[in-house]
Amino acid sequence: MKRFSNTVVVVTGGNKGIGYAIAERFAQEGARVAIASVEKQVENAASELEKATGGTVMPVVCDVSAIDDVKKLYETVDKELGSPDVSVQNAGIITIAKVEDLTEQEWDATMDVNTKGVFLCCQEAIRYMRRSGKGGRLINTASGQARDGFIYTPHYAASKFGVMGLSQSLAKEVAGDAITVNAICPGIIKTDMWDYNDRVWGGMLGDYAPGELMAEWVQNIPMKRAGEGKEVAGLVSFLASDDAAYITGQTINVDGGLIMS
C-alpha cells in the first residue's frame, strides 16, 4: 500500500517549479491531489502529472489572495476528492527592485500572495480538518529569506518572515485538533523563479551574464550545487507523513547547508 493512499492533498502553486514536484511526489505515493494556481496552465500541469504518475490530480484555478477563490478551492476539493488531509501553501511571487523604485503595488501584491494567501488557505483547510475530526497537516513554503533578508527584496523577505510567524502561531492554536503546522525554507532551487532571480539580481549587482551570478552563489553552498524540486518534495512528504506526527511549529531549511540555523 502506498504511503498516502486514501489521503487528499492540496498544493497551491502546483503547476510548476517546487509545487509541481511536491504534487508529483504525493501523486506517486497514492494521494488524491488538487493543484491550484491563478494561471490557466494548471489544467495542463494536472494532465501531465496524471500521465506521469498514474494518480489522481485535479486542477483548480484559484487566486490565493482572494477569499472567495480560496473558499471555492476547498469546497471543490471536498466535493470532488474528499476532505483535505494535507494542505501545502506554496504559491508565491517575487519582484526585485531598489527601495526607491519599489512600488506600493509591488509591496501589496507580494504580501497578498505570499503571506495573506498562506493564511487564507490555512484558515479554510483548518475548517475542513476540524470538521473531519481526523487532524491534518499544514505545510507552508517560506524561503531562505525568512532567515536572512537579501538586498533589493524587502517586501519578499517581509512576506516570508510573516509565513514563519504565522506557522508558529497557528501550530499552537490547532495542536489540540491533531493538526500540525510547519514551514519550509527552500534555498537556491532549479526553478523558473531562480532563473528570474539570477537574471535580475545579476543585472543589478554587476555585469553578470545569465547564469554567472547563480554559479557564484552556488559556490557559497557547502554542497556546491543548487537543489532540485524533488528534494524539497521529499521534506514536504515527510512532514505530511505519520513519521512527523510529533513535529509542529518548526521552520526547516532545505538549502544544502547555505543557512545553518
A 10 A CB-CB count for 47 gives 12
Helices 154-174 and 104-111 pack at an angle, to 10 degrees, of 30
**Residue 196: inside a domain, yes or no?**
no
A 10 A CB-CB count for 51 gives 10
**Residue 12: inside a domain, yes or no?**
yes
pLDDT at 253: 98
**Quick one: which H or E segment has residue 11?**
strand 8-12
Model pLDDT for residues 92-116, shown as the tens digit of each residue: 999 999 999 999 999 999 999 999 9
Give the span between the Cα atoms of 108 and 251, in whole angstroms.
Answer: 24
Contacts of 110 (CB under 8 A, 6+ apart): 93, 94, 95, 155, 156, 159
Which segments of the chain have a pLDDT < 70? Answer: none
Q: Which three cell numbers stand for residue 104?
A: 506600493
Q: pTM score > 0.95 for this model?
A: yes
**Residue 27: inside a domain, yes or no?**
yes
According to DSSP, residue 227 is labeled B
**Residue 122: inside a domain, yes or no?**
yes
Task: Confirm if 93 and 64 have CB atoms less than 8 A apart.
Answer: no
Q: What is the CATH number of the domain that holds 91?
A: 3.40.50.720
Count of domains observed in the chain: 1
Active site residue 156: yes
**Residue 30: inside a domain, yes or no?**
yes
b/e per residue 98-127 (b: at least 16 CB within 10 A): eeeebeeebbebbbbbbbbbbbbbbebbbe
Contacts of 123 (CB under 8 A, 6+ apart): 70
**Residue 235: inside a domain, yes or no?**
yes
pLDDT at 1: 76
pLDDT at 261: 83
Tell me the residue type at 86: V
Active-site option among 20, 74, 156, 196: 156
**Residue 207: inside a domain, yes or no?**
no
- Bridge partner list, 182: 139
What is the extent of the structural domain holding 131? 8-189+229-254
**Residue 83: inside a domain, yes or no?**
yes
